[in-house]
Amino acid sequence: MKTKMKHIEIALLPVLIFIFFSFTLKGKQNNEWKTPEYCKKLQNDVPCTKENLLLGKALYRKHCNSCHGEKGEADGIKATKLDSPPAKFVVESFCQQTDGEIFYKISQGRGDMGSYKKKLSKEDRWLIVNYVRSLEVK
Ligand code: HEC
């Protein structure tokens, strides 16, 4: 009986190792920050006027500058002190996202970035969405 158990354990070992590695590798490769479908379609009701962009800029400077940098290049003063680098906003992959996706990410936060659901009103978050969208891609 004892030897039979040993055989089973030995046979299971490679299986367990395989499962362990496939999970750790998957975690590393699949770092994409996914947004639920319904959030992608959220309507941005804050118009992108010059005045609103200035409001968005002031909010961005206060809350986001320190990590994401003045021009959205992920070079804020805190940027190098984080475990994971802050996102750049002036890249194509960022521009391809919908307003709803950006709004969702600001609201939720992830890793070093906290949630802004309670810190900022919905309107303030949309003002920031408009502002980060207005940053120029090089
Ligand atoms: C303490 C540093 C820090 C602050 C402050 C911060 N962020 Fe972030 N942000 C990050 C980090 C780090 C990530 C990458 C998170 C990840 O992918 O796990 C990130 C990711 C993002 C993303 C996702 C980008 C993408 O392409 O998926 C958006 C949008 C964003 N931040 C917007 C903002 C806005 C707007 C503010 C201000 C209201 C802000 N962040 C404040 C650190 C910060």
Task: State which of 42, 101, 112, 113 you would mutate to test the pocket of ligand 1, scoring each by most atoms of that ligand within 8 A of its C-beta.
Answer: 113
Q: Which of 60, 68, 95, when mutated, tests ligand 1's pocket best, judged by the most ligand atoms within 8 Å of its CB? A: 68
The pTM assigned to this predicted structure is 0.83
**Domain ranges, residue 109:** 37-134
Q: Are residues 73 and 23 in the same domain?
A: no
Shared domain for 57 and 125, answered yes or no, is: yes
24 and 44, same domain (yes or no): no
pLDDT score for 20? 62
Q: What is the pLDDT of residue 50?
A: 97
**16 shares its domain with 84:** no
Q: What is the pLDDT of residue 110?
A: 96
Q: Is the CB of 127 under 6 A from ligand 1?
A: no
Q: Are residues 43 and 82 in the same domain?
A: yes
Burial degree of 92 (CB within 10 A; 0-12, 13-18, 19+): exposed
Supply the CATH number for residue 125's domain.
Answer: 1.10.760.10
Separation CA 84–CA 113 (nearest Å): 10
pLDDT (0 to 100) of residue 12: 73
Sign of CA dihedral 24, 30, 36, 42: positive
Per-residue pLDDT at 34: 93
Q: Is the CB of 135 under 6 A from ligand 1?
A: no
**With contact defined as beta carbons under 8 Å apart, do 33 and 110 qualify?**
yes
Q: Give the chain's domain count.
A: 2
Task: Show the tokens assigned to 100.
Answer: 């709803």
Query: 29: CA distance to ligand 1 center in Å?
Result: 19
Distance CA 131, CA 103 (A): 12
Distance of CA 113 from the midpoint of ligand 1 (Å): 5
Can you list the residues of the chain whose pLDDT is less than 50?
27-29
The answer on 27 and 9 residing in a single domain is: yes
Report the alpha-carbon distance of residue 59 to residue 64 in Å, rounded.
8
From residue 129, alpha-carbon distances to 10, 31, 33, 103, 115 in Å are 55, 22, 17, 6, 15
pLDDT of residue 138: 64
57/97 same-domain check: yes
